[in-house]
Structure 1
Amino acid sequence: MIAGFDYGTSNCAITAVTADGVTVVPLYAEQTLVPSTLYAYQRSLIMAALAQQLPDDAGKADFLRTRSTLLAKAREDMREYDLDHAAQGLFFGEDAIAQYTAAPDEGYFIKSPKSFLGASGLRQNSIDFFEDVVAAMMLNVRQRAEQFLGQSIRQVMIGRPVNFQGIDTETSNRQAQAILDAAGKRCGFTDIGFLYEPLAAGFDFETRLTEERRVLVVDVGGGTTDCSMVLMGPKRLPNRDRSGDFLGHSGERIGGNDFDIALASRLLMPSFGMSSFLKSGLPMPVSPFVNAMAINDLGAQADFYDQKTALLLDRLLLDTTEPALLNRFVGMRHHRQNFAVVREAEQGKIGLSSQPLYQADLGFIEPDLTIACESEVYARVTEPLCVKIAALVEDAIDQAGSLPDCVYLTGGSARSPLIRAAIQQRVGDSLPLIDGDYFGSVAKGLGIYADRYFTS
Structure 2
Amino acid sequence: MSSCGLDFGTSNTTLGRVVDHAPVLVPLEAEHTTIPSAIFFERNGGVLIGRRAIEAYVDGDAGRLMRSLKSLLGTSLIDETTQLGRERKTFRDVIAYYVGAVKRRAEQAAGVEFRSVVHGRPVHFVDNAPDADRRAEDTLREIARGLGFAEITFQFEPIAAALDYERGIAGEEIALIADIGGGTSDFSIVRLSPRRHRVADRADDILANDGVRIGGTDFDRRVSLGEVMPLLGYGSAMQRAGLNAPTSYFHDLATWSNINRMYERGVTDDIRQVRREAKQPKLFDRLLRVLEDQRGHTLAMDVEKSKIALSDAPRAGFALDWIEKGLKVEIARGDLVRHTSELADSIAARIGRCLKQAALSAGDIDAVFLTGGSVQLAHVRRAIIACVPDARVVEGDTFGAVGKGLTIEAERRYGAVAVG
**Match among 184, 196, 202 for residue 242 of structure 1:** 202
- Is the counterpart of residue 187 in structure 1 residue 147 in structure 2? yes
Cα deviation, residue 364, structure 1: 4.1
Q: Which residue of 2 aligns with 1:254?
A: 214
> Matches of 1:310 and 1:152 in 2, distance apart?
46
1:102-141 map, 5 Å: 102-103=59-60, 106-120=62-76, 123=79, 129-141=90-102
> How many equivalent pairs are there?
405
Cα pair 1:344 1:361 within 8 Å, conserved: no
Kept in 2, the 8 Å contact 1:2–1:450? The answer is yes
Decide which of 388, 394, 402 is 2:346's aligned counterpart: 388
**Match of residue 362, structure 1, among 317, 320, 335:** 320
C-alpha distance in structure 1 between counterparts of 2:234 and 2:226, whole Å: 9
Aligned with residue 296 of structure 1, among 246, 257, 278: 257
Matches within 5 A, 1:361-440: 361-402=319-360, 403=362, 404-428=365-389, 430-440=390-400
Cα deviation code 1:151-176 (max 9, x no counterpart): 2222221101111036x622122211
User: Could you tell me how far 1:407 is from its partner in structure 2?
Assistant: 0.9
Distance 1:290 1:123, change over 3 A: closer
Q: Whole-Å Cα distance in 2 between the matches of residues 301 and 107 of structure 1?
A: 11
Do the aligned residues in 1 keep the contact of 2:159 with 2:177 (CA within 8 Å)? yes
Q: In structure 1, what is the Cα distance between the partners aligned to 2:13 and 2:199?
A: 27
CA distance in 2 between partners of 1:115 and 1:124 (Å): 14
The alpha-carbon distance between structure 1 residues 322 and 251, as it changes in their structure 2 partners (threshold 3 A), is same
| Paired residue secondary structure (1:359) | strand
Contact 2:160 2:409 in 1 (8 A): yes
**Amino acid corresponding to residue 360 of structure 1 in structure 2:** F
Give unpaired runs (5+ residues) of structure 2: 83-88
Match of 2:186 in 1: 226
Partner residue, 2:86: none
Cα 1:122–1:346 change in 2 (3 A) is closer
Q: Is 1:144 matched up with 2:89? A: no
Superposition RMSD on alpha carbons, in Å?
2.3
Aligned to 1:286, which of 241, 247, 253? 247
**Within 2, Cα distance between the matches of 1:336 and 1:95?**
18
Question: C-alpha separation between the residues in 2 aligned to 1:151 and 1:319?
Answer: 61
For the residues of structure 2 that align with 1:16 and 1:38, how far apart are their CA atoms?
Answer: 24
**Contact kept? 2:310, 2:316, Cα under 8 Å:** yes
After the TM superposition, which residues 95-106 of structure 1 pair with which residues of structure 2 at under 5 Å, given as runs? Answer: 95-103=52-60, 106=62
TM-score by length of 1: 0.83
Letter in 2 for 1:453: R
Q: Distance in 2 between matches of 1:278 and 1:351?
A: 35
Answer yes or no: is the 8 Å Cα contact 1:38–1:91 preserved in 2: yes
In structure 2, what is the equivalent of residue 263 of structure 1?
223
Question: What code does the residue aligned with 2:36 have?
Answer: P
Cα distance in 1 between the residues matched to 2:335 and 2:79: 40
Cα pair distance change 1:189/1:365, threshold 3 Å:
farther
Q: Which of 433, 436, 441 is 2:401 aligned to?
A: 441
Match status 1:8 vs 2:4 = no
Alignment of 1:314-333 (within 5 A): 314-333=272-291
CA contact (8 A) 2:115 2:148 kept: yes
* CA drift at 1:263: 1.0
Residues 78 and 91, structure 2, Cα contact 8 Å, conserved in 1? no
Q: Is the Cα–Cα contact under 8 Å of residues 353 and 416 in structure 1 kept in the other structure?
A: yes
Partner of 1:67: none
Which deviates the most, 282-291 or 367-376? 282-291
Q: In structure 1, give the amino acid aligned to 2:123.
A: V
Note if contact 1:131-1:182 (Cα within 8 Å) is conserved in structure 2: no
Q: Which structure features the higher share of strand residues?
A: 2
Equivalent residue, structure 1, for 2:167: 207
Task: Measure, in 2, the Cα distance between the counterparts of 1:281 and 1:305.
Answer: 30
Q: Secondary structure at the match of 1:219?
A: strand
1:343 matched to 2:301: yes
Instruction: Provide closer, same or farther for how the CA distance between residues 284 and 125 of structure 1 changes in structure 2, counting only shifts above 3 A.
Output: closer
Q: Distance in 1 between matches of 2:331 and 2:376?
A: 19
Secondary structure, in 3 states, of the residue corresponding to 2:338? helix
State the alpha-carbon separation in 1 of the partners of residues 100 and 78 from structure 2: 24
* 1:329 CA drift (Å): 0.8
Structure 2 residue aligned with 1:161, among 122, 133, 142?
122
Q: Corresponding residue for 2:311?
A: 353
SS of 1:438's equivalent in the other structure is coil
Residues 193, 109 of structure 1: alpha-carbon distance in 2 compared, 3 angstrom cutoff: same
Kept in 1, the 8 Å contact 2:29–2:50? The answer is no
Runs of 5+ in structure 1 lacking a partner? 43-80
CA gap 1:255/1:154 in 2 versus in 1, 3 angstroms: same
With over 3 angstroms needed to count, the CA separation of the structure-2 counterparts of 1:274 and 1:123, relative to structure 1, is closer
Match of 1:94 in 2: 51
CA contact (8 A) 2:217 2:255 kept: no
Which residue identity is paired with 2:53? Answer: A
**Between structures 1 and 2, the one with greater helix share:** 1
CA distance in 2, matches of 1:321, 1:131: 41
